[in-house]
A and B are shown apart, each in its own frame.
Chain A
């Protein structure tokens, strides 16, 4: 009987070990599933981008739809971008003024604000707003078209939906977002003039001259190139998420939501890379 006791005690621990092993295996499977799901998603997105690229250069470009999309993008986001642009400039000026004053460098204010607006604030903030406004719009629009079989209907009426829906939207975003960024930069400059001039009397022309004398071509060019990339990312992600929405109306919301999240994340990440590259130049 004495010999049996350790066996009885051992039994639950064997059981426990087994359970533990099962749990670990399940978790490993779970993690590896998630990981492979992520890589699949990335691969699918690259495939989608490649298909879009290919469809862009095929015959029958849908020019009318492209113009309509350009108008939509500009029209939808102009008020929002205007307000944000002015406020960003204003805030930048008001916040940097005291610090610069401590160093006796208030005259640097216009140049500093202009450089930070043109290099970073303008492009990134505009792109993030557009990711929210345009990316989600595209995700929701294409998502609902997918769910209600409108994309299928296009396909059976001999229209390539990639060409009609996706290419036009991606190109429109790629073209319009840089324009919106320039517009935001300009308004930001006006805003910063107002901010810097609360107690001063510098004319706007003089202020601009001061500001832009500090901006070099190499501040400007990488920023502009970057915005084209932002634009195409926002268009691609929005369309990808919408085009690949699941079944059921619930997936429309999901598509819109994940389009915003992914597009914003990618914009920030690309910005990081872009800054590194510009730094090396």
Chain B
């Protein structure tokens, strides 16, 4: 665990950058199953933080606790200085407007077309947009994920990878300040995966977003990560730069990066 501390101290973000998300001693269990035990991590302004971990290690649970889709059992979560746990419905809605969340499953609305799927959050969060501006933004987001031709299709008519990309478009159409990507490239071919990784970097550059990227895909991690956190058995196993992970002698980490 000493490596963790040195990694934080080394990181230039700590001194220079503003804290965006601050998770302290987060705990979450389902029944007797302790999924997260004492997780502490930070997301700094403008960085891409990659979260690695085995399947079932609680990565999705972690991001869902951050956005309060799941209630944490203990600990605190601050987003831009506000304690999320203490917020009521209205405050929570305000915070959520600043956050884009890409669901692992895509979570497209089955009963709506692709266009309506993108318009639904857009017209609700940015109420002052004109009709033309909405159309423009929807088209732009779909172009970004390379699926403009699917605009009038229903989700059921799309392939798994296409759904994932539409779902990503639905998230980026809001230009959020914070992005939480839950496995953005899983189930995509290598070429599309690369495109998505590039897109994630583009979004970071263009809108200065701070992102948490959950992934198993080491290629995606390599091209997007500014910093990496590894989750194992409900705890932060290691935290540091990508290089420190690549060079690590730890067997568990090596098995990820081989």
How many chain A residues touch the partner (CB < 8 A)?
Answer: 14
A173: shortest Cβ distance to chain B, in Å? 18
- Complex CA gap A159/B121 in Å reads 8
Q: Determine the distance from Cα of A160 to Cα of B124 in the docked complex, in whole angstroms.
A: 11
Give chain B residues whose Cβ lies under 8 Å from the Cβ of A160: 89, 93
Name the A residues within 8 Å of B96 (CB-CB).
Answer: 155-158
Residues 70-117 (chain B) with a chain A CB within 8 angstroms: 89, 93, 96-97, 99, 101, 103, 105, 107-111
Q: Nearest Cβ in chain B — how far from A64, in angstroms?
A: 11
Pick the contact of B125: A141, A145, A157 (CB < 8 A): A157
B105 touches A148 (CB 8 A): yes
The residues of B that contact A148 with a CB separation of less than 8 Å are 105, 107, 110
Given contacts A144-B110, A148-B107, A149-B105, contact A156 B69 (CB under 8 A): yes
A5 and B110 alpha carbons, distance in the complex (Å): 75
The residues of B that contact A149 with a CB separation of less than 8 Å are 103, 105, 107
- Bound-state CA distance A155–B68 (Å) is 10
Q: List chain A residues, Cβ under 8 A from B111.
A: 141
User: Would you call A156 and B105 a contact (CB within 8 A)?
Assistant: no
* Interface status of B196 (Cβ within 8 A of chain A): no
- Closest A residue to B93 by CB, please name it: A158
- Cα distance A153–B97 when bound, in Å? 12
Known: A159-B124, A160-B89. A153 touches B107 (CB 8 A): yes
Residues of chain B within 8 A of A145, CB atoms compared = 109-110
* 8 Å CB contact of B109 from A150, A155, A158: A150
Q: Contacting B99 at CB < 8 Å: which of A141, A150, A152, A156? A: A156
Shortest Cβ gap from A84 to chain B (Å): 28
Find residues 41-80 in chain B having any chain A CB closer than 8 Å to their own CB.
64, 67, 69
Closest residue to A58 on the B side, CB-wise? Answer: B89
Q: Which residue of B lies closest to A160 (CB)?
A: B89
Report the Cα distance A141→B109, complex, angstroms. 11
Pair B124/A157 contact, Cβ less than 8 Å: yes
Q: Is the CB of A156 within 8 A of B125?
A: no
The verdict on B120 contacting chain A, using a C-beta distance below 8 Å, is yes
Question: In angstroms, how far is the closest chain B Cβ from the Cβ of A130?
Answer: 21
Complex Cα–Cα for A158 and B91 (A): 10
Q: A141 contacts which chain B residues (CB < 8 A)?
A: 111
> Could you name 24 residue pairs across A and B whose Cβ atoms are closer than 8 Å?
A144-B110, A145-B109, A145-B110, A148-B105, A149-B107, A150-B110, A152-B69, A152-B103, A153-B103, A153-B107, A153-B108, A155-B69, A155-B96, A156-B99, A156-B101, A157-B96, A157-B121, A157-B125, A158-B93, A158-B121, A159-B120, A159-B124, A160-B89, A160-B93
List, in ascending order, chain B residues with CB within 8 A of A150's CB.
107-110
- Taking CB atoms, residues of chain A closer than 8 Å to B64 are 152
Residue in chain B with minimal CB distance to A153: B107
Is B107 touching A152 in the complex (CB atoms < 8 A)? yes
Residue interface mask B116-150, A partner, CB < 8 A = 1: 00001100110000000000000000000000000
Contact residues, A117-139 vs B (CB, 8 A): none
Partner pick for A156 among B67, B108, B110, CB 8 A cutoff? B67
Contact with B along A149-170 (1 / 0, CB 8 A): 1101101111110000000000
Set of chain B residues within 8 Å of A159, measured between Cβ atoms: 120-121, 124
A145 to B106, CA, bound (A): 12
Q: In the complex, A86 Cα to B134 Cα: how many Å?
A: 49
Q: Which residues of B contact A153 (CB under 8 A)?
A: 101, 103, 107-109
A-side contacts of B97, CB under 8 Å: 158
By Cβ-Cβ distance, the 9 closest A-B pairs, closest first, are A157-B121, A153-B107, A149-B107, A158-B93, A156-B101, A152-B69, A149-B103, A150-B107, A149-B105
Q: Considering the chains assembled together, what is the distance between the CA atoms of A152 and B105 in angstroms?
A: 11
A159 to B170, CA, bound (A): 15
| Nearest CB in chain B: distance from A71 CB, A | 13
A156 to B98 alpha-carbon distance, docked (Å):
10
CA distance A141 to B99 in the complex (A): 27
Nearest residue in A to B112 (C-beta to C-beta)?
A: A150
Task: Please measure, in the bound complex, the distance between the C-alpha atom of A106 and the C-alpha atom of B96, giving whole angstroms.
Answer: 69
Residues of A near B107 (CB, < 8 A) are 148-150, 152-153
* Shortest beta-carbon distance from B253 to chain A in Å: 30
Using A150-B107, A157-B124 as known contacts, list a sample of 7 further A-B pairs with CB atoms less than 8 Å apart, ordered by residue number in A: A149-B105, A150-B109, A152-B64, A153-B101, A157-B96, A158-B96, A158-B124
Q: Once the chains are docked, how many angstroms separate the CA of A197 from the CA of B81?
A: 79
Question: Which residues from chain B contact A156 at a C-beta distance below 8 Å?
Answer: 67, 69, 96, 99, 101
B93 contacts which chain A residues (CB < 8 A)? Answer: 158, 160
Nearest residue (CB) in B for A147 is: B105
Chain A residues contacting B174 (CB-CB under 8 Å) are: 157
